Amino acid sequence: MPATNPRKTLYQRKTEHHLFKWVDEAIVDEINIVDAKHSQLKEDVDSFKLSTARTLEKQAKQIQQTLHQIKMLVDANPNNCGSKDNSAKEREDTLAAPQMSSSVNSLTNIAVAAIALGTMAWIYARISN
């Protein structure tokens, strides 16, 4: 194959429809491929951010509703007629975070790690395709 420009180097890539290409053309094509993958990844990350924000907003609403219900239950508790120290202590006990057993806590950690790992695998699969 005679080269029209002897100072240009040929680039061989067997995965495309043609076998040889000038290096400068091949670099531009590679940049376009990477740019397309980058754009797709950016769209995926933006979509993930949006869905995560929606999920967090829903959870925040649920937490606010639960706190409101707890406050209503504490205010409506008929046992508040005791001494001031006892009622304050009862409120602290009622509003305290529930103690989770170590097995439940470790299961939560495993679930969060599995979700993170799955998300990373999904992003990697989107990048590599």
**Do the strands 20-22 and 10-12 form a parallel or antiparallel pair, or are they unpaired?**
antiparallel
| 82 against 129, higher pLDDT | 129
For 47-106, the pLDDT digits (tens) are: 999 999 999 998 988 888 888 888 888 888 766 544 455 555 555 555 555 555 566 677
For the chain, what is the mean pLDDT?
A: 76
| 118 against 93, higher pLDDT | 118
User: Which residues lie across from 21 on neighbouring strands?
Assistant: 11
For 5-55, the pLDDT digits (tens) are: 666 666 565 555 556 677 788 888 889 999 999 999 999 999 999 999 999
Asked whether the predicted pLDDT for residue 112 surpasses 80, the reply is yes
Q: What angle do CA 76, 80, 84 make, to 5 degrees?
A: 140
Q: How far apart are CA 71 and CA 77, in angstroms?
A: 10
Residue type at 95 in one-letter notation: L
Q: What is the 3-state secondary structure (H, E, C) of the chain?
A: CCCCCCCCCEEECCCCCCCEEEHHHHHHHHHHHHHHHHHHHHHHHHHHHHHHHHHHHHHHHHHHHHHHHHHHHHHHCHHHHCCHHHHHHHHHHHHCCCCCCHHHHHHHHHHHHHHHHHHHHHHHHHHHC
Question: What residue segments make up the domains of the chain, in order of their start?
Answer: 10-96, 102-129
What pTM was estimated for this model as a whole?
Answer: 0.41
Q: State the pLDDT at residue 11.
A: 58
